[in-house]
Amino acid sequence: MTGQSVVYLDLDSVGTNIFKEITRKNIGKRIALLLIEKNYTEVITAPKIKSEIGGGNVMITGMENAQESTDISLLLRAGSLSVPMEIVEERTVGPSMGKENIARGVNSTMWGFAAIVVLMIAYYMFFGVVSVIGLSVNLLFLTALLSAIQATLTLPGLAAIAITIGMAIDANVLINERIRDEIRNGMPPQKSISQGYDKAWGTILDSNITTMIAGLALFMFGSGPIKGFAVVLVLGILTSVYSAIFVSRGIVNYIYGNKRTIKKISIGEIFKVENN
C-alpha cells in the first residue's frame, strides 16, 4: 500500500501465544530477532513493537530498500533449519586423478587375488582349489553387503578389501596346515579333515575377533576415509570367517563325505598319504 518493502512471518500456535504475550507487555520497545550458530549470536533485525500482535501473522516494516528485506528474509529462513550443519572434512579431487587412483586400487586387488590363486593351487592342490572358491564367495558376499548398505567404494575401501583377501586366505591356510598335521600324526584322511576344521576354528575365531576389535575402534574414533576403511574391514572379517569355515567345509564334505574309506587326499604332493 505504501510502496515499502516488508517481511512477513507466520507463527504456529505455540509461537502465536508467546509472541502475543511479549508484544502486549512491550509496546513501544524493540524486539530483536537473533541468528545463533556455533555459539555465535548475531542480531538480524530489531523492529519496534507498535501494538499487540495476535493471530500468528507478523509484519516487519521499516526496511530502506528491497535488498534489505530480501537479506532479512534469507537470514530468517536460514535459522529455521532443525539441525545445524557443521563441515567436518572437505576434500576436492579432480576427476582424472580420482579415476586413475581407483583403477590402480582395483588392479592391485586383482593382481593380489591372482597371485593368491596360483600359490594356493600349486601348494595345496585340491584343497587349494577349495580355498580359492571360498575366497571368491567371500568377495561376492562382501560386495553384496556393500551394495546392500549403499556404501561408496573409495581407495581406503579397496585397501580394506585387499587386507580382507589376505585374512580370508590365512584362515584357509590354517585349516589346510592343521589337516596336514593330523595326517603326519598317522590319522586317517577322513578323520584328519574333520579334526583339521574343528581344531582350526578356535584359532581363526581368535585372530579375527582381535582384528574386528581394531576395526570397530577405527570406526568409533576415526573420521572420513578411516571410517570407510573400518566398515569394509569389519564386513570383510564377517564374510571371511563364514566362507572359510562353512563354504570350504561344505565343498570338502560334498566331495569326501559320502566315501566310507579314503586312501589319499590331494592336499599337496609332499603330503599325499596312503592309508595302510
Q: How far is 84 from 37, CA to CA, in rounded Å?
A: 7
Query: Which CATH fold topology does 95-271 show?
Result: Multidrug efflux transporter AcrB transmembrane fold (1.20.1640)
Closest listed residue to residue 175, CA positions, set 260, 239, 241, 254: 241
Which class does domain 7-78 fall in? alpha beta
- Which sign, positive or negative, has the C-alpha torsion 195, 197, 200, 206? negative
Q: What is the C-alpha separation between 222 and 265, in angstroms, rounded?
A: 47
pLDDT digits (tens, 9 = 90+) for 233-264: 888 888 888 887 788 888 888 877 766 666 77
Mean pLDDT score of the chain: 78
pLDDT in tens, 149-162: 877 677 777 778 88
pTM confidence score: 0.55
Domain extents for the chain? 7-78, 95-271
